Amino acid sequence: MIQLKSADLKKAKTETLVIPVCEDKDIHDDATIAALIRKAKKLKEFKGAKDDQVVFYNLPDVKIVRLIFIGLGKLKKIDTEALRSMAGKAVKGCIKKDLSEVLIAVPAAEKLNLTVQPLLAALMEGACLGNHLFDKYKKEKKHKPLKKINLLVKPAAVKTYRRLSARIETVCQGTILAREWVSTPSNDKIPARFSRSIARLARQANLKVSVWGAKDLKNKKFGAMLAVAAGSQNTPRLVILEHKPQQGKKSIVLVGKGVTFDSGGINLKPSASMEDMKIDMSGAAAVAATLITAAKLKAKMNIVGIIPLVENMPSGKASRPGDIIKSYAGKTVEIGNTDAEGRLILIDALAYGVKKYKPRVLIDLATLTGACVVALGEKIAGVFSLDDKLAQAIISSGDKTYERCWRMPLPDDYKELLKSDFADLNNIASTRYGGAITAALFLSEFVGKTRWAHIDIAGPVYGKKETAYCAAGGTGFGVRLLCDLLEKL
């Protein structure tokens, strides 16, 4: 629970107050806080440098039990991400102290050269997202998330920004939902079970939900998706979520890759870190969580989520390298490599989305290629689109939410590399170079003239180590990005 509060610090009886401190400037309006900071800065070990921390207990000046001073570093380095990180670390510190509540003093926006809204938003996001632990598989729970997070603001701001805080809390809940799905081991999210989990929460949020099984997919000729699913005992599902407040208007369609485990299939992956491939449904998690969030926020526009769920396994029933299959769109594909399965399930979902909804915008999110991680590292997603405006909108939402995106090219002449001797296309390129690009080009063959963007999120969806406002595991990447983007489209 996050709340804006205003209080007279001299009288407030809060247990814990966090005070962010700038190294080279006074960033607070409140005289009591300024005096407390001067006291803290008298210590040799605390100057307000980034990540400096000092705790005072039971100071005579105030009735607050614990005062935690956290350094933000020099003024010119303090941006919204620095504030988000600070808030995340503050909350995580309180969790480790086994506290249940915290009050964070909000600096004066103008002293940070910011406006109030992005300042509050960043602090609330960091605090909310930092207040999450993934311990459901541990018998002994070491710590508990805080029950209440309060931000100390001026009296007038409490009401003005109440809606903002409600929105941010909902978006962060969506992010945390995606994180939990991604972190869940594959044995607990086979397509049938994952689809039930999505459907239950989606119905609660008043989305229209359809779930198709293997028979439906066969009847509707989702040949590429079925070819990937063939090797697994765990049958595939296609989940469709619809949020349609505006009758007769065109929809934004979001598609998310949902491979609940990617062993590689007959082209089996090497065993080193194969366990990481539980994350191969992160696109599905981001899309489902975004639709649930948008419905809760009563978003104005029509949005549809199309989520293909399969498990990619080797077996006597699995598709073989060299097999030729017929996709939903009618084009045939030679399966050059069974480990390039994401693009196979996506082309059926994309082609269906185009045909059924004639979307005004189509966006897919997928942990599509290792090559994209090689290109951009583990923190930045690749954006592929021929539509400059759409690409720019995605990148600017990424900058705002710090779910960073970088534009990648879709060169027409590289399409040659996807030629097959026997089928319309091969699912792998004839070179190992530029793998993220050739994967995106493969998808582009199935979207017609639709305004489309593909976001390769293979890098940023997972973190082995905890960061300022994310525990180790799924990061929930994509949910905040899409929620911001939808507002603009």
| Active site residue ranges | 269, 343
User: Closer CB to Zn ion, residue 259 or residue 362?
Assistant: 259
484 binds, options Zn ion, ligand BES, none, Cβ within 5 to 8 A by partner type? none
Q: By C-alpha distance, which of 390, 389, 399 is closest to 118?
A: 399
Q: Answer whether 382's CB lies under 8 Å from 438's CB.
A: no
DSSP string covering 196-235:
HHHHHHHHHTT-EEEEE-HHHHHHTT-HHHHHHHTT-SS-
234 binds, options ligand BES, Zn ion, none, Cβ within 5 to 8 A by partner type? none
In terms of DSSP bridges, do strands 303-312 and 258-262 run parallel, antiparallel, or are they unpaired?
parallel
SS3 percent helix, strand, coil of the chain, rounded to 5, is 40, 20, 40
What whole-number distance in Å separates Cα of residue 186 and Cα of residue 184? 6
Structure tokens at 314: 């080797």
Comparing every residue's Cβ against ligand BES, the nearest one is 370
428 binds, options ligand BES, Zn ion, none, Cβ within 5 to 8 A by partner type? ligand BES
Instruction: Using CB under 6 A, list all residues that contact ligand BES.
Output: 262, 280, 337, 339-342, 367, 369-371, 373, 428, 435, 458
User: Closer CB to ligand BES, residue 69 or residue 442?
Assistant: 442
Q: In this chain, which of 125, 242, 339, 484 binds Zn ion, going by CB under 5 A?
A: 339
Task: Give the interface size with Zn ion as a residue count (CB under 5 A).
Answer: 6
* Binding segment toward Zn ion, per CB under 5 A, in 2-10, 209-217, 262-270, 409-417: 262-270
Q: At 21, give phi and psi (nearest 5°).
A: -125, 130
CA 366 to chain centre: 11
User: Closer CB to ligand BES, residue 56 or residue 462?
Assistant: 462
What whole-number distance in Å separates Cα of residue 317 and Cα of residue 159? 60
**Least distance (Å) from ligand BES to the CB of residue 369?**
4
Q: By C-alpha distance, which of 333, 351, 301, 340 is closest to 432?
A: 340
- Residues β-bridged to residue 241: 209, 305
**Least distance (Å) from ligand BES to the CB of residue 370?**
3
Give the CA angle between residues 365, 382, 414 to the nearest 5°: 100
What whole-number distance in Å separates Cα of residue 210 and Cα of residue 336? 32
**Least distance (Å) from Zn ion to the CB of residue 352?**
20
**258: contact with Zn ion by CB under 5 A:** no
Structure tokens at 329: 């769109």
**Least distance (Å) from ligand BES to the CB of residue 195?**
20
**Least distance (Å) from Zn ion to the CB of residue 437?**
17
**Least distance (Å) from ligand BES to the CB of residue 59?**
49
What whole-number distance in Å separates Cα of residue 452 and Cα of residue 362? 5
258 binds, options ligand BES, Zn ion, none, Cβ within 5 to 8 A by partner type? none
User: Closer CB to Zn ion, residue 263 or residue 293?
Assistant: 263
What x/- string results for residues 297 through 336 when contact with Zn ion is judged by CB under 5 A? ----------------------------------------
User: Closer CB to Zn ion, residue 174 or residue 264?
Assistant: 264
* Binding segment toward Zn ion, per CB under 5 A, in 121-129, 180-188, 253-261, 418-426: 253-261
435 binds, options ligand BES, Zn ion, none, Cβ within 5 to 8 A by partner type? ligand BES
62 binds, options ligand BES, Zn ion, none, Cβ within 5 to 8 A by partner type? none
What whole-number distance in Å separates Cα of residue 252 and Cα of residue 262? 28
337 binds, options Zn ion, ligand BES, none, Cβ within 5 to 8 A by partner type? ligand BES
CA dihedral 78, 79, 85, 91 (to 10 degrees): 80
Q: At 382, give phi and psi (nearest 5°).
A: -100, 135
User: Closer CB to Zn ion, residue 19 or residue 349?
Assistant: 349
**262: contact with Zn ion by CB under 5 A:** yes
**280: contact with Zn ion by CB under 5 A:** yes
What whole-number distance in Å separates Cα of residue 364 and Cα of residue 313? 23
**Region label for 298, one of left (φ > 0), alpha (ψ between -120 and 50) or beta (otherwise):** left
Amino acid at 327: S
**Least distance (Å) from Zn ion to the CB of residue 366?**
8
Q: Under the rule (CB under 5 A), what is the footprint of Zn ion? A: 259, 262, 280, 339, 341-342
